[in-house]
Structure 1
Amino acid sequence: MFVQNNYPTDEQAKLDIVKYGRGLFQHGYVVSNDGNISVKVSENEIWCTPTDVSKGDMNPDIMVKLDLDGNIIEGHETPSSEVKMHLRVYQENPDVMAVVHAHPIYATTFAIAGVALDEPTLMEALMQLGSVPVAKYAKPGVDEVPESIAPFCKDYNAVLLSNHGALTWGDSISTAYRRMEVLEDYARITFNLHLLGKARYLTEEQLAGLDERRRAGGFTTGLLPRGVSRPQNASDVLPRTADLGPL
C-alpha cells in the first residue's frame, strides 16, 4: 500500500504536469504528441494533459479536469483518449495519486518484443520499481487498453503496453515520473546485458535482504522477481593484467 499524501492544489497539479511533461520530452521519452500525465487532486478528480500537444511545450491553462468517470469538469481542451487507462489505474488502486505514460526507447523495445522486465539484476530498479509485466495488446484509445492493464494496478508499479509504450504510477507525480526513469534505466541495462551475453543474478536470499531494505525505506509496492538458488556474485572478479616485468 502507498502512504497517502495530501492532495495537491489545482494550480500545483497543473504546474507539476507542465514540469514533468517537459522532463519526459527532454529525456527523449516522448516525441511529437506522444505520452500523457495525470494528477489526482481529490477523491474523485484529476487533472490531465489534453490531446494533440507536445509534452515539451505545455502551459497550465491547457490542462483538463475530469472526474473518475471521465466527465469533463473544467478546461477548454479535449483530454487525451488515453486518459481512460489513467482512470482505470485510479479506480483499481485508490492509493495512486499520479500516472505517467510515455514511450521511452528501451522500455518500449521490451514492450514490442513482449519481454517482461523481471530479471534479478539491478538492485536499485528492484527496490524502487520491482518487476514489470507486459500487458496484452489492446487498441489505443478504447476500453481495451484499460481492461488490459487492470490486473496489474494493485501489485505492480508499472506495466509495459504491448506494441505501444510504458505506464507508471505512484503516490505523487514525482514518484510516478521517477519510476518511468528507473523503468527505462532497468530496460537499457537489461538490453545491454543481453548483448553482453552474461549476467550474475541475485539469489532468493539476496532478494529477501533487498525487500527488507526497500520496505524499511518506504518502498512497499511492486513484486520482486524470483532469484537463483546459488550465489553467482560471491567472489571478486579481478581484471586481467599483463605481466610487464620490473619497471
Structure 2
Amino acid sequence: MTPGQSTALPDTTVTRQALIEACLWMNERHLNQGTSGNISARVGEGLLITPSGVPYEDLSPDALVTIPLTGQPKAEGPKPSSEWRFHQRLHQARPDMPVVLHAHPPYCSILAVQRRPIPACHYMIAAFGGNDVPLVDYALFGSSELCENMAEIMSDRHGCLMANHGATVLGETIARARWRLEELETLARTYLFSSIGGAPHILSDAEIAEVLVAFQTYGPQDQGERKA
C-alpha cells in the first residue's frame, strides 16, 4: 500500500484525553505494562506524545508533550517519551497515518524475543497492510538506528514487531490504532498456539491480495474521535 495524503488530528482537549484513554486501555486490556508503552498523534505541524515515566493514571491533557515533526524537542518543560525519536521518524515516513502506538503486548513480545515475524496464518494479517507482520531488527531503544529500521519496515505496513522489544502500530485515527494493537496481539497468540504440535497453514499471496481489497473498508471507520 502506498502512503497517501498527509493528515493530522486537531490539538484539542478531546484529542489529548483520547490519547490518555488509549494508554489506560492498553494496560486494562493487558496489552502493556506500567509506563512502557507510548502514543503520539500528529497535530498541525508537530506531534503530541505521552511524557516520559508518568503513570497513566496521573496523566492530564496538559501533561502531553508537544514536539516538532523534525528536530529536537524543547529543552525546558516535561520530557517526551524516551521513544520520541522513532515516533517522530514514523510520522515523517507515513504522513497518511497520524497516530503511532507502541506497547509491549505479551504474545507479540514473545515473538519479538524469538525474532519471528508473523506470516499469513490468518486473514487478519491484512489489517497490517500486507502478507505478514514484519520484524524490525534490534537496535537500542531511543537510538537513531532504531528510527531508521522502523521507518524502512513501516513504509508499507501498518504494524510491526520489534526484535527483543515489543510492537508498534499505526492508525488513521486513535480508534483504529487501538483496534490494530489488539488485533496484532490476537494474531500473535494465534500464531504461537497454532504452532504447538504442528504448523499453521499459511495463506497464499493471492488469497491475501483478495483480503487486502476487502479490508479497504474493514475495521473502525473514521467518524471522528469521541466528542466532548
**TM-score range relative to shorter protein:** 0.7 to 0.9
Change in Cα spacing, 1:2 to 1:179, as seen in structure 2 (3 Å) is farther
After superposition, residues 137-216 of structure 1 pair within 5 angstroms as 137-215=138-216
Q: What's the offset of the Cα at 1:64? A: 0.5
Amino acid at match of 1:31: Q
Q: Which residue of 2 aligns with 1:25?
A: 27
2:122 equivalent to 1:122: yes
Aligned pair count? Answer: 215
2:38 equivalent to 1:36: yes
CA distance in 1, matches of 2:145, 2:6: 29
CA distance in 1, matches of 2:10, 2:74: 17
- Whether contact under 8 Å (2:38, 2:101) holds in the other structure is yes
Amino acid at match of 1:172: T
Percent of counterpart pairs with the same letter? Answer: 27
Compute the RMSD of aligned alpha carbons: 2.2
Change in Cα spacing, 1:28 to 1:97, as seen in structure 2 (3 Å) is same
After superposition, residues 94-133 of structure 1 pair within 5 angstroms as 94-118=95-119, 120-123=120-123, 125-129=124-128, 130=130, 131-133=132-134
CA distance in 1, matches of 2:142, 2:64: 19
Change in Cα spacing, 1:70 to 1:6, as seen in structure 2 (3 Å) is closer
User: Match of 1:208, SS?
Assistant: helix
State the TM-score, normalized to the length of structure 1: 0.79
CA distance in 2, matches of 1:80, 1:6: 20
Q: What's the offset of the Cα at 1:199? A: 2.8
Q: What's the offset of the Cα at 1:108? A: 0.8
CA distance in 1, matches of 2:14, 2:86: 23
Q: What's the offset of the Cα at 1:201? A: 3.3
Amino acid at match of 2:198: G
User: Match of 1:39, SS?
Assistant: strand
1:160-209 residue CA offsets vs partner (Å, 9 max, x unmatched): 11111111112112112211111101000001001142433334443332
Q: Which has the higher contact order (CA 8 A, sep 6+)?
A: 2
**Structure 2: 5+ residue runs without aligned partners?**
220-228
State the TM-score, normalized to the length of structure 2: 0.85
CA distance in 2, matches of 1:45, 1:191: 38
